[in-house]
């Protein structure tokens, strides 16, 4: 059960971090030369990504050993379509999880994941910046979330004994009970939503076997 939660969290994190930059980079990387246009990257004016895509799509070009043709553009288009379907599937799953947690347990999705991460941490505590890294949230968002959890008695703050400027977020007994109460519903909705939106296969062995999502602490 914990591995499935970690897999979903890791996959969602990967999706949010990827963005469109990799797709645009792949479009701009081939060296393209169209004899009829006498076009090369060095001599071409700056174009936005949509104009570049249209140019590559409309002209079959050969330059040295690199070949850019309509078939390759169709492949890129299919990859982009698959990428969009993947994003939509993840968004739909997250929406259903968030609605269930809010309606039945009074928790936001980030709140639940914070409680889950704290429950698995040594002494049920983490520095604020470590919690932010696990959740892939900025410091301001995590501070507001922790304040919300504290008002509900689900967490408390504690000073680091070695560094008085360091602040820990500590899971309380009430917070652990709230997490354990919500976890079965979270897992039930996660399984149903993954199947409903055709996303079960997206949790590949790579993610399921990866363990907890890595925290990128600066």
Arithmetic mean of pLDDT, 148-157: 95
* Residues of the domain holding 93: 12-30+69-182
For the chain, give the percent of residues with pLDDT over 70. 57
Is the per-residue pLDDT at 155 higher than 80? yes
Is the per-residue pLDDT at 194 higher than 60? yes
In a domain, 177, yes or no: yes
Chain segment 158-186, per-residue pLDDT in tens: 887 776 667 899 999 999 999 999 999 99
Residue 54: what pLDDT?
55
Chain segment 32-47, per-residue pLDDT in tens: 434 333 444 444 444 4
Contacts of 96 (CB under 8 A, 6+ apart): 189, 192, 193
| Mean confidence (pLDDT) of the chain | 75
In a domain, 50, yes or no: no
Query: What is the rounded CA–CA span in Å between residue 50 and residue 178?
Result: 48
Residue 165: what pLDDT?
67
Number of domains making up the chain: 1
In a domain, 41, yes or no: no
Q: Tell me, what CATH number does 173's domain have?
A: 1.10.10.10
Residue 24: what pLDDT?
45
Arithmetic mean of pLDDT, 55-82: 61
Is the full-model pTM beyond 0.85?
Answer: no
Is the per-residue pLDDT at 21 higher than 80? no
The residue that leads in pLDDT, 71 or 30, is 71
Alpha helices by DSSP H, listed for 59-138, are 70-105, 109-120, 128-135
Residue 77: what pLDDT?
79
In a domain, 217, yes or no: no
3 state SS of 20: coil
């Amino acid at each position: 059960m914990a591995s499935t939660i970690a897999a979903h969290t890791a996959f969602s994190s990967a999706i949010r971090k990827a963005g469109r930059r990799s797709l645009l980079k792949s479009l701009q990387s081939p060296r393209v030369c169209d004899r009829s246009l006498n076009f090369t990257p060095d001599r071409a004016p700056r174009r936005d990504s949509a104009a570049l895509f249209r140019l590559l799509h409309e002209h079959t070009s050969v330059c040295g050993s690199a070949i850019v043709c309509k078939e390759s553009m169709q492949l890129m288009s299919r990859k982009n379509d698959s990428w969009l379907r993947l994003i939509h599937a993840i968004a739909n799953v997250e929406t259903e999880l968030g609605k269930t947690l809010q309606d039945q347990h009074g928790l936001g999705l980030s709140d639940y994941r914070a409680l889950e991460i704290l429950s698995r941490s040594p002494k049920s505590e983490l520095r604020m910046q470590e919690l932010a890294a696990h959740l892939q949230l900025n410091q301001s968002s995590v501070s507001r979330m922790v304040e919300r959890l504290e008002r509900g008695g689900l967490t408390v703050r504690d000073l680091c004994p070695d560094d008085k400027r360091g602040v820990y977020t500590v899971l309380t007994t009430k917070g652990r009970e709230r997490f354990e109460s919500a976890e079965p519903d979270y897992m039930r909705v996660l399984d149903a939503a993954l199947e409903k939106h055709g996303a079960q296969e997206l949790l590949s062995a790579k993610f399921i076997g990866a363990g907890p999502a890595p925290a990128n602490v600066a």
